[in-house]
Structure formats: C-alpha cells, structure tokens
Structure 1
Amino acid sequence: MDYSHYPRNDVLCIDMRSFYASVEAMKLGEDPMKVMLAVVGDPNRPGSIVLAASPTLKKRYGVSNVSRYFELPNDPNIIVVPAHMVDYLRVSIEITKLLHDYAPPEAIHQYSIDEVWVTVNGLQKLFGDRREIAQKIQKDILDRFGITSSIGIGDNKFLAKVVMDLHAKKTGIAECRYEDVPEKLWPTPVQNVWGIGNRMMKNLHRMGIVTLGQIANYKLEHLQKRFGVMGEQLYWHAWGIDLSPVFGDFTKQEQKGFGHGIALLRDYNKEEIAYCILDLCEEACRRARTAGKAGRTIQLGISYSRDTAGGFSRSRSVDIPTNVTMDMYEICMKLFNEFYDGKSMIRHVNVGLTKLYDKEDADIQLDLFEDRTKKNDIGYVMDSIRAKFGSTAILRASSYTDAGITLERSKKIGGHYA
C-alpha cells in the first residue's frame, strides 16, 4: 500500500481507565489502581449491572462491565458503591478543560464520557513531539485527578483508537503509524477491532476471515459485494486508512432522529406497556419540538422477557410530518397490536421518530379534516411549563401509575441515578 497519498496527522486517543470506579475511589481516598471497587447501577437490585470495576477487581476476580451485582464474589475487601452520574460528568468536563491547555477546541473530539480524540498537529515547539505530548497529558490527568489513562497515538483517528484498545491499555502509551499496521494490527482477531460487532464477526468467520490481516488481503470488490459500503470501510480500515476529519466542530452533528428506549425493571404485560410507550413518545416528541423538527417515520421496538425471548421492531410512515405525542403514540400502539404475539411479557421498549423535516416545512402540509393547531399548541405549552418548573412539573395521568416510567427516569442521568 502506498501511503504517500493519505494524510498524516498527530492524533491521540485518550481513555480514562475504569473511569467511574476511579472517580469513586478518589472520592473515598483510595488508590484507583489498587482498591477493589465496583460501581453498581442500583445496589438495591441484585440483578443490577456492574457499570465499572477497578483494575484490581477485574484482574483478581474477572469482574467485567457486563457482570451483575449478585455475581460479585463474597469478599469483604470489595467496596460496592452506587453510580453517581453527575460526578462522572463533572470530572469528564474538567478533564476536557485540561486538554484545552494543549489543543484548540476544534482539535478535540469527545467520543464518550471517558474517551476523547485530540489532534496535536504543529505543537512540537510548545510541547515536544506527539509521544511527549501524550506523556505530559497523561501525567497531568494523573496529578490533577488521580486517574490513570491509556493513550493511543496514530496517523488518524482509527489508528489512534485501535492501538489504544489493543496495546496502550497494557503499556500506558502505544503508537501506530501506517507502516506499523501489518505488525501491530493485522494479527488481531476481528472481534477485537473497534467497529466490528458480533454480527459482522460471525459473517466474517463464515467467509474464513478471523484476523484483520485477512480482511486487508481479501479482494475489495468481494467485500463490497457482500457488505456494501461497510465492506469498503472494513478494507480500508484493515490497511489503517481513515479519512474522517480530525478538525472541526464535533459538537454539531445532523440529527437523524429522536428516540428513547428503556430496559424495564420488571416484566410488563400488554395493558401496562401502553403507559410506558406513551411516556417514551412524550419524551421523543418533546426533543423533536425543542429542535424545531417533525418526523414522518415512527418506529417501535419490543423485546420480550428472558423466559420467552424474541420481540419485534417495526416502523410506519405518516403522510404529514409530526411531533405531536398522541400522533406518535397512536401509530406505536397500532404497530404493537399488529405485531405483538399476544402473550409474552415485555422487558425492553424503544420508540423512534425519524425522516425529519424542519417544523416550518411540515406546517405547510395542512390537513383539511383536522385542526392540528390545537394538538401542536398543547405540546409546546407543556414543554414551556417543564422548561420553567422542571421536567415533572406537568405530566399525563398515566405517568403516575405503577407502569409509568417518567417519574423514575427524571431521577437519572444516562439511565442511572445522578
């Protein structure tokens, strides 16, 4: 591969190790790298998920971020704490502020609460080469917050991210240039490569592809024929090539839809699930109204409980774009009644509003048989009351039933208690 035609940048991918657990350890005055600590979503529920485990707990007992609270070993040295999402957000923001000491805002791309890309092109005279900059940032994060980080360095975002996942989590800092790809990345099993999920892994395995190097040496046209655009991306990533921008306003991204989902704390029956769907539609439409958008395609996804498994995901388009809660709810219930098997208990629900239009354009499409003005006004009035007095200042009566979810969700951030 001739890499001379492709851009070379100095990109760092920074990951805070066991971030939630590290923040909680520092709050308790413990060493995040030595203490055995687990952050649990809700310690009052034995089935609650372990959101984060300290490195020592992971190493000694094999606890992972998919473990359940009841699976934690009976060891008195293990500290269990509930999640405090506000604290994690606050620390994440402060770490991002620290990164502004090294790079301008347009060079910082926040990927998640505990992971960020930073492009450090042209900063050699100020801070040294890209490895020296990584070392300085890593030391600053440790000194100021007590949190250990792993940093991948690459010629683009993909290389920085993958070398961080595969090597920097063991060595602290790892680097991968284009020329290093065959040695450092090609031996990697495909399931360990960022961007390749379980379904894609199975498809690749059926083709006899088990490593990234085998993707790189597969015929591009065959991958395109099998996977379309994704096949092309797989091929170029296998060669370490990524043309995604490294500078820009990464906070502004085109909104493609508004959706909400929830994993229920217990099984819901057919009658109860209607209240849950209504609450989810209310939130999705509120977000659409706030953004000045309306959608034509409405989606409903239902997953049954573990006892029966299965479920369905279906969508339907409407003639007039809408952000009216009851419009969306009506379609969702039609989909539910059409595709629900009639007997299974339900454990997960999600709704979505897509194929968006600007609200002004949507208003042009008038309905001669219905006064839509009143239906629209109700939603906007409710939104303004909530904006002024809080998210639970005005709710539908169904939200106050045992099957309603809005009151409980209002206490959480990112699905977990603040």
Structure 2
Amino acid sequence: MQKYIMHLDMDAFFASVEQMDNPELRGKPIAIGSPHKRSVLSTASYEARKFGVHSAMPSHQALKLCPHLILVPGRMARYKEISNQVMSVLGNYSPIVEQASIDEAYLDITGTEKIFGPPLALAESVKRDILKTVGLTASIGIAPVKFLAKIASDLKKPAGISIIEADEVDQFLITLPIEKIPGVGKKALPRLHSFGIRYAADMRRYPPEFWKERFGERGLVLHAKGAGIDPTPVAVGGQMKSSSAENTFGDDVRDPQILKTWLLKQSERIAADVRKKSLKGRTVTLKVKFPDFRQITRSKTLDQRTSNAGTIFKTGCDLLDAEGYLGPVRLIGIGISNFDERSEQLSLLTPEQNLSDDKKLEDLDKAVDKVREKFGNAMLTRGSLLKLSSGK
C-alpha cells in the first residue's frame, strides 16, 4: 500500500487571525510585534511580505522596508483557540495526527482513499472544512515521507496543494536545493557547498561513511534524506519536546542579579507549562544574546527529571555563573527539555530521600498552581524572586 503523509501549514497564521477578527486590517500590510527598538516580528501578512518583511525580522528594519506597516500586538490565547479548532478538523480525516506547532500538523492518510477518495480530494476537503470552521486558509503538502510533505506544503503558498508521488521523488530531489531540507542550517550550508553538494540528490555521491565521519549521526540522517528516505513516523499526540521562555531587554543589562531575576520569572512560566502537561524534563538550557547578536547556549542534564521552578532556576543560575561576567546582555532565556522517562539516572540519595524531597516539591508546586489558577499569577511570588528584585 502506498504511504501518504500530509503536512498542513496555516497561511500567515497570527496575521491572518488578526485580519479575520478586524476587517479594517484586511488587505493591508500587518505584522505581529511592537514598535520597540528590540522587538522582533513573529508573523507578517502576505501584503507585508511583498515589501520583504518576514518573521524574526526586527521591527525597526521592517518599518524601513514598509513604512506603512501596521504592527499588531499578539494574542496568543486567541491563536491557541483557533489552533485547537483546526486540529479538531484534522482529527476527522485521520486518527494519526501530530501537531508540530500551533499552526502546522502532520497526518498519516495512508489507506484513507476508500473513505475520502484520492489524496488530492482529501486535501481539498480538509481545506474547505478548515475555511468553513475557522475562516482561514491553509497550504497542504503530500508525500511518501514527512520531510518531503513539509517541503511540499511550502511550494504553492498561500492556499495551495502540492503532491509528490512515490515515483516522482527521485526527480524532485534532483532539483531540490539542500537549504530547503529541514536540518540544513546556515552554518552547514557553506560546508556542504564545499563538497559540491547543492541539491538533495548530490548527497548520494558520497557513501554513508563519509557523512558519519564528518557530520556524525546527523550526517547519516541527511544522507538518507538525499535519497528520499525518512523513517520518522507521524507521532499521535506529538508530545512537546521542550518548553522555553526568553526576554529581550529595551536596554542592555549588565547586572547579573537583574539577569537572574528574569531567569526566575521564566523558570516559573516554563515549570507551570510542563506541569500542565504532566511532564518533567532533565535538560536545562540557558540562552544569552549580546548586543552584536552573538549568542551562546549552555545546557546541563540533571540526575532526575523535574518540573520544579526552583530546580530549573538554580540550574540556570549555575550555568550563568559558570560563564563569569558576560558584559552587556541583550536577551536572556531558559528552557527545559528531555522529557523521556527512560533516560532518568540513579541518584546517590536513597530512594526514600528522593521520594520525600520530590513529594514536598510537587505538593508545593500543586498548591501554587491552584492559588494562581484561582486568583491569578500575581497573587504568589517566590521569596527568592523578592530577594533578587530588592538586591538582597
């Protein structure tokens, strides 16, 4: 049976929601962001993209390209509401749906022809259903494997459908620039070019040993993709892989205590996020960006998984202190990942001690969550945050 994977990507999602909710914004160049000099755009409408405006672009640069650009503050709660409706629609077409982000998802539609007709007919039905349900358009890609389905969904944006059949894969890879392959970043691109590799099919000129030696396990994955191979299945539920938070400062920050104040606020947010999903992570990652846009990330893997803000915060502070004085900082952030229970290590403490300490932390976190859920986030502030804020 021919395998078919569908990738659906909502068109300019955040901006489209704003234009749908506010008729005055329709047909105008808008972007989600603020005029603050350090603000970065999250999404731009197609009207704005005609001027070269795109996501992750600094607001001041976007305004130079498009002086009449309308900046709209984001409404994440509204975007999540619409996203949930979209995912509900997708669940009507396949029991195997993986939500990849707030505005995109994969579906395994293998064997659905008897119910919905051929893949093209199914894709048309999905688009119509989403438009009718939420009033927005989506682009769809269909291919035998996930990474090609994702690439295909971008070929005819907005509101397009692209299908790569199994017997068309080889020809498609011959003309596919390697930078279009997920996992090939800006740093890897010049190195790949130095080997004469410019299109996906060029990867086949070198054996797996070549890729393993120069790029490690990631190299073997890239080599496989060059042959159109991607064994990654569509994962039902699409469990969250990480949770992170970061803040860009209006003015560069030099004081380590202020940086730690923000780390604690962020640790509170991501800890609450993973607890809502009944997850615990083992790897804490610190992110620091400097005024010249240079960036460093530092990670530490804990002996045990955690969803406790204090543990995440302390680990982030340890990583920050290990760097010494960094000078002016433009952005700081922290995240937690590695939610796989199987990777948990043994501790030097006895099981009874571990269970006792963990139970106390979990009970405290649950109590905090209940109070904040009822009265709001501002009702409880950790003592450590108050001490940091006061400089004590």
Q: Give the shorter-chain TM-score range.
A: 0.7 to 0.9
> What secondary structure, in the 3-state scheme, does the structure 2 residue paired with 1:36 have?
coil
1:164 aligns with 2:153: yes
Q: What's 1:149 paired with?
A: 138
Query: CA–CA distance in 2 between the matches of 1:293 and 1:175?
Result: 36
1:325/1:201 Cα in 2 relative to 1: closer, same or farther (>3 Å)?
same
Residue 331 of structure 1, CA deviation:
4.5
Match among 51, 76, 98 for residue 85 of structure 1: 76
1:250 aligns with 2:234: no
Q: What's 2:286 paired with?
A: 300
Query: CA–CA distance in 1 between the matches of 2:67 and 2:298?
Result: 48
1:8 aligns with 2:2: yes
Q: 1:19-34 maps to which residues of 2 (within 5 A)?
A: 19-29=13-23
Match among 27, 43, 50 for residue 41 of structure 2: 50
Q: What's 1:263 paired with?
A: 248
Cα pair 1:41 1:83 within 8 Å, conserved: yes
Q: Deviations over 1:298-322 (max 9, x none)?
A: 543333233xx54544445667776
Match among 372, 377, 386 for residue 372 of structure 2: 386
Q: Deviations over 1:348-401 (max 9, x none)?
A: 232547687699986744669x98887776555434433443333211256569
Residue 283 of structure 1, CA deviation:
4.1
Q: 1:201-350 maps to which residues of 2 (within 5 A)?
A: 201-246=189-234, 249-252=236-239, 259-270=244-255, 271-286=257-272, 298-306=284-292, 310=294, 312-316=296-300, 325-341=309-325, 343-350=327-334
1:274/1:122 Cα in 2 relative to 1: closer, same or farther (>3 Å)?
closer
Match among 128, 137, 140 for residue 139 of structure 1: 128
Q: Deviations over 1:97-129 (max 9, x none)?
A: 22233x24x322211222122222333333321
Q: 1:58-73 maps to which residues of 2 (within 5 A)?
A: 58-59=49-50, 61-70=51-60, 71-73=62-64
Residue 227 of structure 1, CA deviation:
1.6
Query: CA–CA distance in 2 between the matches of 1:74 and 1:82?
Result: 19
Query: CA–CA distance in 2 between the matches of 1:294 and 1:164?
Result: 33
Cα pair 1:273 1:403 within 8 Å, conserved: no
Q: Which moved more, 1:50-59 or 1:376-385?
A: 376-385
Instruction: Count residues with an aligned counterpart.
Output: 385
1:384/1:152 Cα in 2 relative to 1: closer, same or farther (>3 Å)?
same
1:129/1:223 Cα in 2 relative to 1: closer, same or farther (>3 Å)?
same
Q: Which moved more, 1:319-328 or 1:333-342?
A: 319-328
Match among 165, 179, 196 for residue 177 of structure 1: 165
Query: CA–CA distance in 2 between the matches of 1:371 and 1:127?
Result: 53
Query: CA–CA distance in 2 between the matches of 1:147 and 1:39?
Result: 17
Query: CA–CA distance in 1 between the matches of 2:250 and 2:364?
Result: 31
Q: What's 1:413 paired with?
A: none
Residue 238 of structure 1, CA deviation:
1.6
Cα pair 1:293 1:356 within 8 Å, conserved: no
Unaligned runs of 5+ in 1: 1-6, 405-418
1:285/1:217 Cα in 2 relative to 1: closer, same or farther (>3 Å)?
same
1:39 aligns with 2:25: no
Cα pair 2:13 2:43 within 8 Å, conserved: yes
TM-score normalised by the chain length of structure 1: 0.77
Cα pair 1:21 1:38 within 8 Å, conserved: yes
1:354/1:263 Cα in 2 relative to 1: closer, same or farther (>3 Å)?
farther
> What secondary structure, in the 3-state scheme, does the structure 2 residue paired with 1:267 have?
strand
- Residue 97 of structure 1 aligns to which amino acid in structure 2? S
Cα pair 1:40 1:69 within 8 Å, conserved: no
TM-score normalised by the chain length of structure 2: 0.81
1:338/1:360 Cα in 2 relative to 1: closer, same or farther (>3 Å)?
closer
Q: What's 2:86 paired with?
A: 95
Cα pair 1:11 1:117 within 8 Å, conserved: yes
- Residue 203 of structure 1 aligns to which amino acid in structure 2? R
1:251/1:229 Cα in 2 relative to 1: closer, same or farther (>3 Å)?
same
Query: CA–CA distance in 2 between the matches of 1:99 and 1:293?
Result: 25
Cα pair 1:39 1:83 within 8 Å, conserved: no
Residue 222 of structure 1, CA deviation:
0.8
Q: Deviations over 1:235-286 (max 9, x none)?
A: 221222222223x532446x6x665443334322223112122333444555
Residue 73 of structure 1, CA deviation:
5.0
1:12/1:365 Cα in 2 relative to 1: closer, same or farther (>3 Å)?
same
